[in-house]
Structure 1
Amino acid sequence: MRLSEDAEPIAMRMQRMSRLFISALAAAAIIAGARANAADWPNKPIHVLVPLTPGSAVDIVPRIVLEEVGKELGQTFVFENRVGASGALAARAAATAPSDGYTLLATSSALTIAPYTIANAGYDPIKDFVPISGLGIVPNVLVIAPSKNITALSDLVAKARTAPAPLTFGTIGIGSPMTVWMDRLQTSGGFTVQNVMFRGAPEALTETMTGRLDFYSSPILAALPFIRDGRLVPLAVSGSQRSAALPDVATSVELGYAASDYNFWLGLFAPAGTPPEIVNRLDRAIQTALAKPAVAARLKTLAIDPADMSREAFAEYIRKEVVSLASLTKRTGTAPNSQPN
Structure 2
Amino acid sequence: MHRRHLLGGTAGALLAAPALAQGGFPARNIRMVVPYPPGGATDAMSRLAAQKIQEKLGVTVVVENRSGANGQVGSQAVLQAGADGYTILGSASIHVMARSVMRNVPYDPVADFVPLARTARGPLVLVMSPQRPQRAIPEVVAAAKAEPARWTFATSSLGSAGHLGTIEFNRVTGSNIEIVGYRGTAPALTDVAAGNAQLMFDPVLATLPMVRGGQLRGLGIATATRTPLAPDLPTMAEAGLPGFEFYSWYGVWAPRGVPAEIVARYNAALVEGLREPAVVERLTGLGFEPVAESVAEVERFIQGDVARNVELLRIANFQPE
User: What's the TM-score, normalizing by structure 1?
Assistant: 0.73
Aligned to 1:310: 293
Q: Are 2:70 and 2:158, in contact at CA under 8 Å, matched by a contact in 1?
A: no
Deviates more, 1:274-283 or 1:222-231: 222-231
Secondary structure of 2:148's aligned partner: coil
Deviates more, 1:230-239 or 1:72-81: 230-239
Q: CA deviation at 1:141?
A: 1.6
Q: CA deviation at 1:242?
A: 5.3
Q: CA deviation at 1:182?
A: 0.6
Give CA-to-partner distance per residue, 1:283-326, whole Å, 9 cap, x none.
2211221122443455456x350243413443222212222332
Q: CA deviation at 1:267?
A: 0.5
Q: CA deviation at 1:204?
A: 5.1
Q: Are 2:32 and 2:61, in contact at CA under 8 Å, matched by a contact in 1?
A: yes
Distance (Å, rounded) in 1 between the aligned partners of 2:181 and 2:113: 31
2:167 maps to amino acid: D
Aligned to 2:45: 61
Distance (Å, rounded) in 1 between the aligned partners of 2:73 and 2:228: 33
Q: Are 2:275 and 2:290, in contact at CA under 8 Å, matched by a contact in 1?
A: no
1:101 maps to amino acid: G
Superposed counterparts of 1:185-224, under 5 Å: 185-196=169-180, 205=189, 208=192, 213-224=197-208
2:288 maps to amino acid: D
> Which structure has more helix as a fraction of its residues?
1
Q: Are 2:36 and 2:183, in contact at CA under 8 Å, matched by a contact in 1?
A: no
Aligned to 1:163: 146
Q: CA deviation at 1:44?
A: 2.5
Distance (Å, rounded) in 2 between the aligned partners of 1:78 and 1:231: 33
Q: 2:310 aligns with which of 326, 336, 340?
A: 326
Q: CA deviation at 1:51?
A: 0.7
Q: CA deviation at 1:84?
A: 1.8
Distance (Å, rounded) in 2 between the aligned partners of 1:80 and 1:201: 17
Secondary structure of 1:80's aligned partner: strand
Superposed counterparts of 1:49-88, under 5 Å: 49-88=33-72
Distance (Å, rounded) in 1 between the aligned partners of 2:128 and 2:159: 22
Q: CA deviation at 1:230?
A: 4.7
2:230 maps to amino acid: L
Distance (Å, rounded) in 1 between the aligned partners of 2:317 and 2:136: 28
After superposition, the Cα gap between the structure-2 partners of 1:334 and 1:96, relative to the gap in structure 1 and judged at 3 Å, is same
- Segments of structure 1 that go 5 or more residues without pairing to the other structure are 1-38
Q: Are 1:143 and 1:215, in contact at CA under 8 Å, matched by a contact in 2?
A: yes
Deviates more, 1:104-113 or 1:47-56: 47-56
Q: How much identity, in percent, do the aligned residues show?
A: 32
- Segments of structure 2 that go 5 or more residues without pairing to the other structure are 1-22
Q: Are 1:131 and 1:268, in contact at CA under 8 Å, matched by a contact in 2?
A: yes
Higher CA-based Rg: 1
Q: CA deviation at 1:246?
A: 2.8
Secondary structure of 2:289's aligned partner: coil
Aligned to 2:241: 257
User: What's the TM-score, normalizing by structure 2?
Assistant: 0.77
Q: Tell me how many residue pairs correspond in the alignment.
A: 297
Q: Are 1:86 and 1:110, in contact at CA under 8 Å, matched by a contact in 2?
A: no
2:86 maps to amino acid: Y
Superposed counterparts of 1:103-114, under 5 Å: 103-114=87-98
Distance (Å, rounded) in 1 between the aligned partners of 2:42 and 2:146: 37
After superposition, the Cα gap between the structure-2 partners of 1:200 and 1:270, relative to the gap in structure 1 and judged at 3 Å, is closer
